[in-house]
Structure 1
Amino acid sequence: MVNHKPIVPGHCLVVSRRVAARVSDLNPSELSDLWTVACLVSKHLERHFKAEALTFAIQDGSAAGQTVPHVHIHILPRRNGDFEVNDLVYEELNKEDLSRTVPVDAKKNREPRSSHEMAEEASALRILFEDSLPIPVE
């Protein structure tokens, strides 16, 4: 899934097929599938967005900043200097206040995208994954 309020270009989510609120609610097979898909997706995102690295993040429970009670992994293509302080990416994940700023190269507010904008990005990225995922892309 593409992210509603992306932090960096290419910020996507890998979501468990079965709705589970916490990582510990997943069975071993589901957990394995989640990370297998995250690794496959990340390889394509890194190449497509010409990233130098990746950040994988899971907010597991509301106290950890999880706002949607469904296990998901944030995958963020990263570049050197995209944040003035590298670990600010985690602070950005926790923000709900849209007046705060995003990475140093974005210089604009992190605003929610429309369903149409998200669908367009998802369609454009879908071709990257169609032949490599172990499960059908829906």
Structure 2
Amino acid sequence: MLRLRLTHYSRCSYFTSSFSYISKELFHPDHLHVKAITNLLIGVHDNLGLPWGLTIATTAILVRTVVAVPLYIYAERNQAKVSHIAIECQQNRQMMQAKLSNSKCYRNLSNKRKLVLENQLVGFFE
């Protein structure tokens, strides 16, 4: 949890000091996430025997793949569900319009009120 220090800064040094404070809090070498990233980089460097430049690039690609592939699969599954539901909504919208046109109450409404009612029902299924 970030704790803000109540100190008086001059206008120019306030941004630098707060940035410095936040960066020290987030990237302190004793924090667990910094240690994990450091150990990952050292492990890839030692096990693959790559130079440090290639180690950093390889680790970045590896981490992006590990994070992005599950998110991509999750997004594709959700898209399949949404497209399936959209087809059902289109069918339900047509059925609702047919039922509405056969309704006695609908026939007794003014044209303006019919449009309002249709827009409300059609908007529900879109």
TM-score of the aligned structures, taking structure 2 as reference length: 0.22
More helix as a share of residues: 2
TM-score of the aligned structures, taking structure 1 as reference length: 0.21
Structure with greater contact order relative to length (CA < 8 Å, sep ≥ 6):
1
